[in-house]
Structure 1
């Protein structure tokens, strides 16, 4: 019993750092807010236009600002106080929720006001991503960092589970998006309050002058680190091709024939699988063959995407999405730990900004790709072809990046 208790405490060791606990509370609030809001935006847009392509355009509108601003946002994360930048980002998310609420209450039911706000959300996200990820290693000791990464992923996925479910339920009960946008706005304020209490003891960082060389340093660093390049590019192309989340409103409405509540359940299913896997890895961390494990899990992601694509049952679809989330989470934790432990603190903002572009491309551009292929070939063929593409990419990366395949453990260089 004592050994069991010690093991349980060891699995939660990151939470012995108070700043980490506050960071995760804020993270839960903001991710839940954005996920609730995403369900409302997707359903609202599809009700207005009835076109899958417009769901893809929502993802593209969020991603394009990141492409334009990622070099600036990464440099800002390395130059300025990361906690204060994070608070500013959370305030920006709250304002965007307020704008969506205002547009709906004023009777502006056209699509273009939604797209304008989605672009603004993309601008805020371009700073939020690298800043929040670069701040995380400052909040825990090095030996507790892998545990912090696993719990950070678990908290994110818990919010991803609850956010869409609450968003879909609230949308259905209130017969519109106004209540969802209100809750999202208040949740962002909660994230601000929590982050204000963080007392991070950041190590002094050199104030590099803004120049093309310093701005591009993250790109150059990743290009030289083949293991990092292989892991984040694998995630980019696998999820870019295999992402089916953008088409969930179509599946919920036309294929599975459920309402907003069904959409909320479908959106939550990947988060349930991912959250469960993250908790499992927090208590039973990967100790060997992490590179090969990552490749096998990405292949599994493709297989379960295909299964979801051909399913006509809500239960089977949710099970497939649950395993999609679980296999993806293994890749997320391995990649996230590799990037952080292999990067000096003074460059983490820039390197994470580049990594976030890869993540954003796989998610937001993946949404656009899914919407476009669904418009051309139909919804089911688009998802199935995407899953097949993921399997092909995994095989190519296993051959092209042998260094990634041979990675055995996730440790800091000094270890």
Structure 2
């Protein structure tokens, strides 16, 4: 009977965690659409959009070492709760400003910076919280479900944000405020067995301990750095507007389909992982997925047919999720609970850096040699990196179990 109660409690906690994650991520996507659109409407300046992205990116990089340490010193639920309520408060302030007038450029940038700082704290704390909710043997499935929620948010968030913004910016900010507050409340109903930890003295060594931990574990270092460089080179999605207009000769609706295809592929694959978790051959599967990622990117680059391009992008998203689930499961299982906040903070930095710099790299290369060669050689580069990492990290290539060091 006690085991049954524990099982129900864990299932309820994970359900609250999953729903709150979807609400939080969807709200962030909606706010990104609204803030970006409103900033451009006010300034009609592309540089202003760049500053919005910079305002969100700088806190993620600058606070990496601090947020990881905070996640390992304090109750992770309270950190996530506080972040979501602050984000909801910022959305509420933007709602108020739009009801009484229009927020200015500085107010929007400040809001973006505060939201970016909150997301910097929320991400590692939320990731480190997940292993405390479910048994170790179910962790891979839980990560797959969590990934599916994130992909669902990426599909729903931008479209819902755009739809609500067409009615008026207040609708986006109002919906985001409500969703973030609900997400925060749901976080309070998450039960963990170890929510408090001993407060140890903060030192330079402890701040950098997450980096040191990863550096001394070749399997973790290999998989995180592999994802960084593979995504960095294979960032063809940043070039989608060029492909839509100049190569596939489609309109805004076609661009929307192209942007949605990778997220749908990722959602489908994450659901497959949730029901049919990988049991063996993690290393070969990881490198095989990256090969598919690279080949699909190359196929997209040379395609002039809309259907072929959508299929290629679907495969890009699906293969990328395989890497995400394996990497996340590996990091969580091989990291002690007292270190998970710091290690997940470094992991989040790698992910964010690869996405941001990958888009920058793709844009710069496309500016010099054209979009098609840039995307094609980017996919080819991903395959080359995968081959190089197979040589540099033989333990990762031979990995058959997520518990291998």
Take 1:46 and 1:379, find their aligned partners in 2: how far apart are those partners? 25
Take 1:108 and 1:355, find their aligned partners in 2: how far apart are those partners? 35
Q: Which residue of 1 aligns with 2:31?
A: 37
2:273 pairs, out of 267, 270, 281, with 281
Q: What does 1:347-386 align with in structure 2 at a 5 Å threshold?
A: 347-386=339-378
Check if 1:230 corresponds to 2:222.
yes
Check if 1:92 corresponds to 2:68.
no
2:251 pairs, out of 252, 258, 271, with 258
Take 2:201 and 2:276, find their aligned partners in 1: how far apart are those partners? 43
CA contact (8 A) 1:60 1:365 kept: no
Q: Give the 3-state SS of the residue equivalent to 2:227 in structure 1.
A: helix
Q: What does 1:66-105 align with in structure 2 at a 5 Å threshold?
A: 66-98=60-92
2:177 pairs, out of 175, 185, 209, with 185
Take 2:278 and 2:349, find their aligned partners in 1: how far apart are those partners? 26
String of CA shifts for 1:278-299, please: whole Å, max 9, x gaps: 1111221111211111112112
CA contact (8 A) 2:230 2:386 kept: yes
Deviation, structure 1 residue 67: 1.5
Deviation, structure 1 residue 386: 2.6
Cα gap change, 1:318 to 1:31, in 2 (>3 Å):
farther
Take 1:234 and 1:334, find their aligned partners in 2: how far apart are those partners? 12
2:400 pairs, out of 405, 408, 415, with 408
Deviation, structure 1 residue 57: 6.0
Take 1:37 and 1:93, find their aligned partners in 2: how far apart are those partners? 10
Check if 1:164 corresponds to 2:158.
yes
Check if 1:28 corresponds to 2:22.
yes
Deviation, structure 1 residue 262: 4.6
1:63 pairs, out of 57, 77, 80, with 57
Report the more deviating stretch, 159-168 or 249-258: 249-258
Q: Which residue of 1 aligns with 2:386?
A: 394
1:328 pairs, out of 289, 306, 320, with 320
Q: Which residue of 2 aligns with 1:318?
A: 310
Take 1:159 and 1:209, find their aligned partners in 2: how far apart are those partners? 38
Structure number with higher relative contact order (C-alpha < 8 Å, ≥ 6 residues apart):
1
Structure 1 portions without partners, runs of 5+: 1-12
Cα gap change, 1:43 to 1:370, in 2 (>3 Å):
farther
CA contact (8 A) 1:170 1:179 kept: yes
CA contact (8 A) 1:56 1:246 kept: no
Take 2:38 and 2:362, find their aligned partners in 1: how far apart are those partners? 18
1:200 pairs, out of 154, 175, 192, with 192
Q: Which residue of 2 aligns with 1:5?
A: none
CA contact (8 A) 1:54 1:371 kept: no
Cα gap change, 1:409 to 1:57, in 2 (>3 Å):
farther
Take 2:239 and 2:93, find their aligned partners in 1: how far apart are those partners? 25
Deviation, structure 1 residue 149: 1.4
Take 1:19 and 1:216, find their aligned partners in 2: how far apart are those partners? 32
String of CA shifts for 1:361-405, please: whole Å, max 9, x gaps: 112232333344445554444433432322222221111111111
Cα gap change, 1:165 to 1:67, in 2 (>3 Å):
same
RMSD between aligned alpha carbons?
Answer: 3.0
Take 1:142 and 1:372, find their aligned partners in 2: how far apart are those partners? 43
1:19 pairs, out of 13, 27, 34, with 13
CA contact (8 A) 1:14 1:147 kept: no
Report the more deviating stretch, 89-98 or 206-215: 89-98
1:210 pairs, out of 202, 208, 211, with 202
Q: Which residue of 2 aligns with 1:8?
A: none
Deviation, structure 1 residue 22: 0.3
Structure 2 portions without partners, runs of 5+: 1-6
